[in-house]
Amino acid sequence: MAKLIITQNGEVTGNRFIGESAFTIGSLAENDLCLPMPGVSRAHARITPIGNDDILEDLDSTNGTLVNGQRVSRHILQHDDVIDIAGVMIRYRNHKAVEGPGFDRTMIIAADEAAHARSAPAQPLGATALATAKQENRLKPCARTGIVRVLDGKQPPREIELTRVLHTFGIPGKQVAVINARPHGYFITHVEGRKPARLNGKSLGTEPRPLNPNDTIEVGNEKLLFLLR
pLDDT of residue 153: 61
pTM of the model: 0.54
pLDDT of residue 101: 42
Q: For the chain, what percent of residues have pLDDT higher than 90?
A: 45
pLDDT of residue 98: 45
Q: Which residues contact 99 (CB under 8 A, 6 or more apart)?
A: none
pLDDT of residue 143: 62
Query: Does residue 140 carry a pLDDT above 70?
Result: no
Q: What would the pLDDT profile of 154-176 be if each residue is shown by its tens digit?
A: 678 889 999 877 888 888 778 88
Q: Which residues contact 77 (CB under 8 A, 6 or more apart)?
A: 2, 47, 53, 54, 55, 56, 67, 92, 94
- Distance (Å, whole) CA 131 – CA 133: 5
Q: Which residue has the higher pLDDT, 86 or 129?
A: 86
pLDDT of residue 96: 63
* H helical segments located in 48-170: 103-119, 127-138
Q: What would the pLDDT profile of 13-53 be if each residue is shown by its tens digit?
A: 999 999 878 899 999 999 999 999 999 999 999 998 876 77
3 state SS of 91: strand
Q: What would the pLDDT profile of 80-122 be if each residue is shown by its tens digit?
A: 899 999 999 999 998 765 444 444 444 444 444 444 444 444 4
Q: For the chain, what percent of residues have pLDDT higher than 70?
A: 78
